[in-house]
Structure 1
Amino acid sequence: MLLLYLFIAVVLVNTAYFILFSKFSMSIPSQIDAKENFPVSVIICAKNEAENLKMNIPAILNQEYPNFEVILINDASIDDTQDVIEAFAARDPRVHTVNIENNEAFWSNKKYSLTLGIKRAVNQRMIFTDADCQPGSDQWLRHMVAHFSEEKQLILGYGAYRKESGFLNKLIRFETLMTAIQYFAYAKVGMPYMGVGRNLAYTSKLFYDNRGFMSHMRVASGDDDLFVNEAGNATNTALCYNEDSFTYSTPKKTFSDWIRQKRRHITTAKHYKPKHKTLLGIYYVSTLLFWLLAIVSFVFLDWKIILALIIFRITLQYIFLGKGAKLLKENDLLPFLPVFELFLVLVQLTIFISNSFSKPKRWK
């Protein structure tokens, strides 16, 4: 009976988290109410991204927004990134450049490069994205900027991945979806804990008031999530998840490349605030335990009771996470939510174990 009680407790914990996630998934994206066209700086840090810049910068320069500049940062690239950046600057006066060279103190540190880009920016309001990202519409800037106000100085957006064929593509998009549902939901209840640099905005005042990235400058990644974790709060954070505000990136093509990327990202979680680490940890452990206990309970307990609990839990998953998937336009993932969840939990467990034995590589 102890096993049954434990399984029920895990299902109830999962249920509590699904209800938390519903704070986002059951919401409605706010419409544009741009009473002012605030001047804004778009900041992009690029390291060996010549081809991506050629492909994606035109979509940013073609935004239907009257007053913006683009800061392109060459982070010590060894390809033609600097030449591409200079070509854009020569053609368009809105483009400004920052060229970073390696130095002993801050070798290959994206946060150092971003800091110099922020200092170069003329405007107080700043939008951040990556060189491999492309806005989903010409209204991206208008949607993101519309959420700024005297109170709201930090805007969390959604950085999606392009839909392609294959299991890996769907798994990557599922992981991205789950991450977004969580950080949007936590922000909805007044606990913003992360954002993604593919689609993020904040003011220079917020940046300088929090001493920029100084508290985590030596951490390999986290220019996005660690900054949000430190600077975000219940009153200064807004969410932007209208479909026209999405950005899109091309996902990794192989499992090994994706795993290396996730290893870097996961290392930042240990630097989150204790309450965030606790809540995120409980969700992960309860999800892992659900699948483990479901298998064990089928062997040792009445399968009809266990099946009923599994169906109950998965039904709630489809209701609450499924709504979030539709909201973020990831509908094609819906038929396989439990499969992706199980696979992702096992992948994350593998990464945690791997990171405990060796450190992942720094910013590329």
Structure 2
Amino acid sequence: MIDIIMYIVLVIYIVFILQLIFGFGKVKTFVRTEEKPTTKFSIIVPFRNEEKNLQKLLKSISNLNYPKELFELIMVDDFSKDNSEKVYTKWRMENGLIETTLLENLRLSNSPKKDAISRAIPILKHEWIVTTDADCTVNKNWLLTLDNFIQKNNAEMVVGAVVYKTKNNWFHHFQQLDLLSLQGTTIGSFGIRKPFICNGANFAYTKKLFNEIGGFGGNNKIASGDDVFLLQKAIKNHSDKVHYLKNIDTIVTTKPENDLYKLFMQRVRWASKTSSYSGIYSKILAVVVLLMNVSLVLGFGMRVLDTSAALSVTIKWETLVIVFLIKYAIDYILLFKSNVYLRNGKFLLPIASSLIYPIFCSSVGIYSLFGSFSWKGRKFNK
């Protein structure tokens, strides 16, 4: 009976992943042309205790291949306790041609990042808002390509990709594979016209659209989701104006975590918003993915206990092996496609990570339903 249930879950899982694989191919790579830049951008960067990372982000913004008069930078300090402000001030003195403003966050909700963005929006001088994170670096043609895309499309919200800059260790590669799966899901969902996920580290939208859909209203009690919930509200009201920009010059690079606890808390923070998704498709997909991974973990546990005669319920080793291998194969196709785009097809053979991932995914998914999480030195309840 358990074997049959696992096969049923696997079949449903395959259907969803094949949809995403098909959708990934439907999103075509955007080719930038030589139009004169016209779009004016306001870049918003919320930060908290980021003195180790800010310098790299700010340097990448200094190197943007975009007219200085066409963008401004708004930094929002979320009550940092380190030297982040000094790093920014030093950079500001060395880059006088870039219009920039430093604000202090104003906490009005349970979401510091939403508060930070909301704090900045009323003072913005330009129509297009672009958000990224303090631990990121941006490509020199980031805004140039985004402007070109906006000129050629009826867009008021544009989603872009994020990838890790990893060191040569397994823990970083494990995170990269996890992020590749999320990015593949993002692109695939746009391809089948059911987008529901994005990353605020590479996200752009107009003030007009932000105000029309009520900004972050309705989900301020949720600590995370400044990106996903805004996307879902835009899809519900103006789906024709929401686009995915697939071009290597717009990929934003960020840093992986260096210890397991921080990684677990980060993923719990991301997963905690899943139950508040507005679309049926996204909720079903989340449940199917969780069930697939939990079934593998429970199946393995039952098999081990049954071998020791501690449990009467049986499941065949053959079933576990077959289900895992088929899941691995279907996952690999989506990961491979993401890897070709995001990492230029660098070597990818995630056998060890795929063995551990069901345990990690199950732990994060189940814990996020009930547990609290910490983020930037603060604790947030479910």
Cross-structure match for 1:29: 29
Q: Kindly indicate whether the alpha-carbon contact (under 8 Å) linking 1:49 and 1:132 is maintained by their aligned counterparts in 2.
A: yes
Q: After TM superposition, list the pairs within 5 Å mapping 1:182-193 onto structure 2.
A: 182-193=185-196
Cross-structure match for 1:195: 198
Shift of 1:12: 2.0
Cross-structure match for 1:252: 257
Structure 1's 107 and 85: CA in aligned 2 closer, same or farther, altered over 3 A?
Answer: farther
- Aligned residues, how many? 360
Match of 1:316 among 326, 330, 352: 330
Structure 1's 34 and 213: CA in aligned 2 closer, same or farther, altered over 3 A?
Answer: farther
Cross-structure match for 2:356: 343
* Match status 1:9 vs 2:8: yes
Of 25-34 and 218-227, the range deviating more from structure 2:
25-34
Q: Pairwise CA RMSD of aligned residues?
A: 2.9
Shift of 1:274: 4.3
Shift of 1:111: 1.2
1:301-338: CA deviation from partner (whole Å, max 9, x where unpaired): 887787666555543333343222222217456211x5
* Match status 1:142 vs 2:144: yes
Cross-structure match for 1:266: 271
Cross-structure match for 2:52: 51
Match of 1:280 among 286, 289, 293: 286
* Match status 1:75 vs 2:78: yes
CA distance in 2 between partners of 1:309 and 1:259 (Å): 26
Secondary structure of the residue aligned to 1:214 is: coil
Structure 2 residue identity aligned to 1:348: C
Shift of 1:297: 8.8
CA distance in 2 between partners of 1:308 and 1:47 (Å): 46
1:14-55: CA deviation from partner (whole Å, max 9, x where unpaired): 221221121344354221146452121221111122332222
Give the TM-score taking structure 1 as reference length.
0.87
Match of 2:101 among 97, 101, 113: 97
CA distance in 2 between partners of 1:360 and 1:305 (Å): 35
CA distance in 2 between partners of 1:303 and 1:362 (Å): 40
Structure 2 residue identity aligned to 1:324: S
Shift of 1:262: 1.6
Cross-structure match for 2:116: 113
Q: Identity, % of aligned pairs?
A: 19
CA distance in 2 between partners of 1:225 and 1:49 (Å): 23
Q: Kindly indicate whether the alpha-carbon contact (under 8 Å) linking 1:187 and 1:237 is maintained by their aligned counterparts in 2.
A: no
Cross-structure match for 1:176: 179
Cross-structure match for 1:167: 170
Which ranges of structure 1 fall in alignment gaps of 5 or more residues?
A: none
Cross-structure match for 2:380: none
Structure 1 residue identity aligned to 2:292: S
CA distance in 1 between partners of 2:84 and 2:317 (Å): 60
1:223-280: CA deviation from partner (whole Å, max 9, x where unpaired): 1122212223542221123222111112111111111222222211121114121222
Which ranges of structure 2 fall in alignment gaps of 5 or more residues?
A: 308-313, 378-382
Q: Kindly indicate whether the alpha-carbon contact (under 8 Å) linking 2:161 and 2:183 is maintained by their aligned counterparts in 1.
A: yes
Structure 1's 333 and 282: CA in aligned 2 closer, same or farther, altered over 3 A?
Answer: farther
Secondary structure of the residue aligned to 1:222 is: coil
Q: Kindly indicate whether the alpha-carbon contact (under 8 Å) linking 2:166 and 2:172 is maintained by their aligned counterparts in 1.
A: yes
Secondary structure of the residue aligned to 2:92 is: helix
